[in-house]
Amino acid sequence: MAEPSDEDPPPQPGQRLCRRCRAPLDLDDDVCRACGERNPVPMPWWGPLAGAAMLALIAYFLVDFTPLIDMINRWLKW
């Protein structure tokens, strides 16, 4: 297992570290250069929710829902 050398600068606050050898990773690195461990970039939990909200907002502005609302109103009056 490769250890980070003493010549490496200390990690900055918020910088990602390898899970195995604790070597600093660049922002877009998935694989540690020192030991080869895969370190996927974590996706925030709110990512899919934000995407769904954006799609709903785009649909709200681009789609005319009047026929759908009329059909639902006719169905509810039965």
Q: Give residue-wise pLDDT tens across range 6-24.
A: 566 666 777 888 889 988 8
Mean pLDDT of the chain: 84
Are the C-beta atoms of residues 39 and 30 closer than 8 Å to each other?
Answer: yes
Do residue 38 and residue 2 come from a single domain? yes
- Residue 17 φ then ψ, to 5°: -120, 155
Do residue 36 and residue 1 come from a single domain? yes
The H or E element containing residue 59 is helix 47-62
The amino acid present at 57, given as its one-letter code, is L
Do residue 2 and residue 20 come from a single domain? yes
Q: Give the separation between CA 6 and CA 33, rounded to whole angstroms.
A: 16
Examine the pLDDT at 5 and tell me if it is beyond 60. Answer: no
